[in-house]
Chain A
Amino acid sequence: MSAAPSLPVRALAALGRPVVAAARATLELWGVLIGTLAGIIRSYGKGGRRPRGAVLAQMYAIGNRSLVFVAVTLGFIGMVMMYQACLQFSRAIGDLSQVGLQFLRLVVSDFGPTLTAMMLATRVGAGIAAEIGSMKVTEQLDALRMSGVLPIDYLLVPRFLASIVMTVALTILGAAIMYGAGGLTAWLSFGVNPRTFFDPAMVQPRHLALGLIKAVTYGAAIPIVSGFCGLRARGSSEGVGWATTAAVVGSSFAVIALDFALSVGALWLFGGDL
């Protein structure tokens, strides 16, 4: 009979297990992304068979059904942020003429896409993971495979394409509402002239490009992370619950991490001009 492993070996094994699990999960996540990109080529390439109306249906589910939620949330955030900004500006320098100019630049390049995506990560991410997760635990994914359909092609490709388009659309809407609500707050609470506030002078094409790149990246990341969590669901309803929670946490984290990475990249590229 072999001797039991020593304490250092057991401690190393205990430390190594989560590292191995995390590395495996990361590889699987990349696998889902690559599989989805390959699925787009399979479905929309030459001779491909795209699911009828699937992207439009998902655009409606992801975009239209999130519209009120995103609009209301970003409107309130815009009001709160502007109120706090005006308060601090008036205390520190006593001049509110620059507040609208700075706010618009931030909304376009950062707050608009990031906060919209955070809202979508909770609503859309949970929905995707719950749907795919419950299909997984009820063997519907196996039934798809028996029918000659790759689950990624059927479930993730339409969601991926729809999410990119609708995240960009909702970002434009959300940013506009956030900026408008901020301007209204500045005018009603601090008497900032709307003509001074709504001045796009400081927004450069690079800010618009950065905002657009962020929206597209978040729109791609949310269905990939959520779909990955749904595909990993095990067991029964508890597994679906776990997958849904993991999807919300993972998608939100992905948005924040990508925001950081893209902002650092843009700073490195444009330096102080950003």
Chain B
Amino acid sequence: MTARAFVEFIGVEKAFAGKPVLRGMDLAIGKGEILYIIGTSGVGKSVTIKHLVGFLPIDRGEIWFDGQRVDQLDERGFYPVRRRVGMVFQNATLFDAMTLTENVALPLRKHQGLGWKAALADARRRLAQVYLADFADRYPAELSDGMRKRAAIARTLTLAPEVVLFDEPTTGLDPVNARRIDRLIRELSRSLGVTAVVVSHDLPSIMAVADRVAFLYQGRVHALATPTALAASADPIVQQFIAGRSSGPMETPGF
């Protein structure tokens, strides 16, 4: 029996309304690794990470997490997986009707079965860790984008996940806040051994933080390398993407 990677996608296929997005994608991610997934819009980056937590069912293929096949689980079967795999969404996705503390307390209450008082106390501690202690009783609408994103990260980290999926974490943030998020991702991996899978278009982040980068093209991993090796790649498609050139060999549907 072959040893499986901590997270592994094998021959994953996914189509929306008959239009294929993933076409037999293979990707293996090691424990504690920071892997960035890059590629043009609509290539299936966010779809890939959503498959891992069961938000979207795959059409064909296999997905493995820590030696367990997860692509065949039902909604209830994904509960234990979601306790170990956290996700930071592209938008902060905080619940508008709840204060920051209540937002962060929710997974503690539901996944860990804590009572409200204990969950709220723990949530306040988590918010202090992301420098939001003074805003704990505010509602999401009263905060800036960067604050909301930090609160969303605090909510994700409350369950001490082994894998954190970041969907474009720095999109819409100013450079200072973006670098803070980068630092947080690196600290999570280095201090706590968390595996980070990051979907991003932010090249400075990728170069500074990633251990490896998977470049998706036409529904498959076209290149998988360290950031430095990818930047030095002679592949004309990779070069066109990294240089951000509008003309070249890359096929971009709709243009």
> Which residues of A are at the interface with B, using a C-beta cutoff of 8 A?
49, 52, 138-140, 142-150
Contact = CB atoms under 8 A, between A and B. Distances in A.
A142 B110 contact: no
Contact of B89 (A143, A148, A149): A143
Interface in B168-213: none
Task: Tell me the dominant secondary structure on chain A's binding face.
Answer: loop
Contact of B107 (A52, A138, A148): A148
Contacts of B107: 146-148
A146 B159 CA distance: 11
B86 interface: yes
Size category of the B interface is 20 to 34
Given A52-B116, A145-B82, A148-B79, A138 B110 contact: no
A149 B116 CA distance: 15
Most interface-central of A140, A146, A149 (chain B CB within 10 A):
A146
Interface string B47-85: 000100101000000000000000000010011001100
Contacts of A143: 87, 89, 93-95, 152
B251 to A, nearest CB: 24
Interface in B10-32: none
19 contacts: A49-B110, A139-B91, A140-B93, A140-B95, A142-B87, A142-B89, A142-B93, A143-B89, A143-B93, A143-B94, A143-B95, A145-B78, A146-B82, A146-B107, A148-B79, A148-B107, A148-B110, A149-B110, A150-B75
A150 B79 CA distance: 10
B125 interface: no
A147 B91 contact: no
A45 B82 CA distance: 25
Contacts of B55: 142, 145
Most interface-central of B82, B91, B106 (chain A CB within 10 A):
B106
B162 to A, nearest CB: 14
B109 interface: yes
A139 B83 contact: no
Given A52-B116, A143-B95, 15 more contacts: A49-B109, A139-B91, A139-B93, A143-B87, A143-B152, A144-B95, A146-B53, A146-B107, A147-B107, A147-B111, A147-B155, A148-B83, A148-B110, A148-B111, A149-B110
Nearest to B83: A148
Nearest to A148: B110
B91 to A, nearest CB: 6
Given A147-B111, A148-B107, A138 B82 contact: no
A138 B96 CA distance: 12
Nearest to B109: A49
B93 A138 contact: yes
A139 B50 CA distance: 11
B115 to A, nearest CB: 10
Contacts of A138: 91, 93
Contacts of B226: none
A147 B110 contact: yes
Nearest to A143: B93
A147 B102 CA distance: 12
B91 A146 contact: no
A143 B89 CA distance: 8
Interface string B88-102: 011101110000000
B87 A146 contact: yes
A145 B56 CA distance: 12
Contacts of B78: 145
B54 to A, nearest CB: 8
B93 A148 contact: no
